[in-house]
Structure 1
């Protein structure tokens, strides 16, 4: 009886241990409570961004969701959170690194703290054309910049377009560098932008985007720089008389993903998501360009006085802005600056 009892006790213990081992070996969550490729649950991608659902970025995020779910036959579920519903500009990068979201699409300049070379989009009169911008980001130099984020647990997957920046102001036409003297401009935070206006003899004030209209209306600042679409949708034509088509800087986004999450995906799913993102990127870029051009027409109809810089004008600006290049060549990297300048 004792032998039988001992054998029964050992068999019971073995069963308990087996169950415990099975529990430890159950499919693991891949970072944010989403399903596993081997389980019946779909893999969930939380895509957080701060613009509205109807913006080019918002529409492209929804397009990516549609394509990703379609191309993976429902094995992936994309949850899009627009308008800063989950995280604002300041928090979303940390949330991505922590794995609380899997994808974000911040402005390029939000990455300057991780790599100062991302200030390249602020360098004045650097890119010769929209085509040059796309070639830069899709080519070797842009990909090198993207890869520089990997030590921070982030992968850069694509550039989504916003557009070229233009100058507006309420005082006078801005045709030559000397026309900027004594004026004060609203700007985003950034040392390159401060240096840009300083070299032109103008002042700069960092003012939040959502407070810019009032600052222009009240005369806190005389002007600002932005894309046609932002100038249009923010109704700056109501408080700004002069528009200079300068194409002097860029406002664009980078689609980022959590590195460990992305590399932990099954290869076939990752490939399907890459295809979905490629198509969503083409959709976003075309939409952003079309909306920007439509907004340019809207601004002319709104009665803004428009001046388009000639090549001679641009050369005068480049000469006036040489101190900015001297100051930031080593910070951003001569390789990136010379490479971008050479593209047509």
Structure 2
């Protein structure tokens, strides 16, 4: 009997050791979920990260990329991340309102004059501090990724703010963006990005706001006869992960992963700059939509109409933070 129990214990221990060894040999799988096409700056950045990790980390880490909302949309990916169902995402900065008020800064209209100003602020001490603003809520920002400055697309010409009165515009889930359109007497509707083309095509909405890359790759220009080149706002993303997942990684994995991610983000940001001009020209060449270039006087009217939104959200965001961001417009 004793021999039988001893043999059973030895077998069980051996099975446990083999199981632990097999578990240790299994690669860490990082699921990267995003909502845009693979040929966008974000899509190419995600695929670049996958390639770099495969090259540098062999079988220890495997990155799986899920574009076009195949796995999760931006409205539920953060909850999924906290449950461990996804490890990396890059939602628009507007999507973090439930976790911090500070990132609403990036939705303020006409805050940044160009992407150089955005870069200066995001790499500043104040900008970098924002990456850790949600750590107590279980999320860690790993970097900023550009999509670009936004333009209005619409089913009728928009030259001055009064032209948008009464029109329905799709927006992301952002109180700032809601206030932005209400400031010009338009009707903001919070809808998933994956539904925008159909909403435009069926005329359930009258317009939307996106950088050139999203307007082109998602073919919004095919169902919108006008695009107003306003550069009125910023659409950027934060590459984010679960604090629990990130801090549980071994140091010898976390550091090379962060290095690969930094390189991929820099790659994606350069593509964002290049594609803005390329996609704008591709839309022009399609002859499907008219691009309206605002005169200085027309643009000044949009700024005047929308800038009061800054004051409306000053308390939540912080006047010092808004001032620091606006100061980045000076080289």
TM-score (norm 1): 0.83
Shift of 1:277: 0.6
- Counterpart of 1:59 in structure 2 is 44
Number of aligned positions between the proteins: 328
Match of 1:257 among 241, 245, 256: 241
Q: Are 2:81 and 1:89 equivalent residues in the alignment?
A: no
CA positional deviation for 1:314: 3.7
Structure 1 residues 21 and 224: CA distance shift in structure 2, 3 A: same
1:322 corresponds to 2:307: yes
Indicate how the Cα distance of structure 1 residues 242 and 71 shifts in structure 2: closer, same or farther if over 3 A, else same: same
Q: How does 1:156-305 map to 2 (within 5 A)?
A: 156-174=141-159, 176-303=160-287, 304-305=289-290
Q: Are 1:108 and 1:118, in contact at CA under 8 Å, matched by a contact in 2?
A: yes
CA offset digits 1:159-215 (Å, max 9, x no partner):
1221111012232341x3333334333333322122112212323233443443444
Change (3 A) 1:241 1:48: closer
- Per-residue displacement from partner, 1:241-293 (whole Å, max 9, x unpaired)? 33221111122221112212222222222111111111111111122222222
Aligned residues: CA RMSD: 3.1
1:133 counterpart = 2:94:
no
Tell me the distance in 1 between the aligned counterparts of 2:173 and 2:54. 37
Q: Shift in Å at residue 142 of structure 1?
A: 2.4
Structure 2 vs 1, CA of residues 46 and 209 (structure 1 numbering), >3 Å: closer, same or farther? closer
Q: 1:68 to 1:215 in 2, by over 3 A?
A: closer
CA 1:214/1:21 → structure 2, altered by over 3 Å: closer, same or farther?
Answer: closer
In structure 2, list runs of 5 or more residues that go unmatched.
none
Please state whether the residue corresponding to 2:140 is helix, strand or coil: strand
| Contact 1:158–1:254, Cα closer than 8 Å, also in 2 | yes
Please, what TM-score do these two structures have when normalized by structure 2? 0.86
Alpha-carbon distance change, 208 to 260 in structure 1, aligned in 2, over 3 angstroms: closer
Structure 1 Cα separation of the partners of residues 202 and 65 of structure 2: 37
Aligned counterpart, 1:5 = none
Asked which structure has the greater CA Rg, the reply is: 1
Q: C-alpha distance in 2, partners of 1:186/1:264?
A: 39
What is the CA–CA distance in structure 2 between the aligned matches of 1:270 and 1:240, rounded to whole Å? 44
Instruction: Pick the aligned partner of 1:100 from 77, 82, 85.
Output: 85
* In structure 2, C-alpha distance between the alignment counterparts of 1:109 and 1:152, rounded to whole Å: 16
Return the alpha-carbon distance in structure 2 between the equivalents of residues 217 and 41 of structure 1. Answer: 46
In structure 1, the residue matched to 2:140 is 155
* Gapped regions of structure 1 (runs ≥ 5): 1-7, 29-33
Counterparts of 1:184 and 1:18 in 2: how far apart (Å)? 69
- Give the CA deviation at 1:16: 4.7
Kindly indicate whether the alpha-carbon contact (under 8 Å) linking 2:157 and 2:228 is maintained by their aligned counterparts in 1.
no
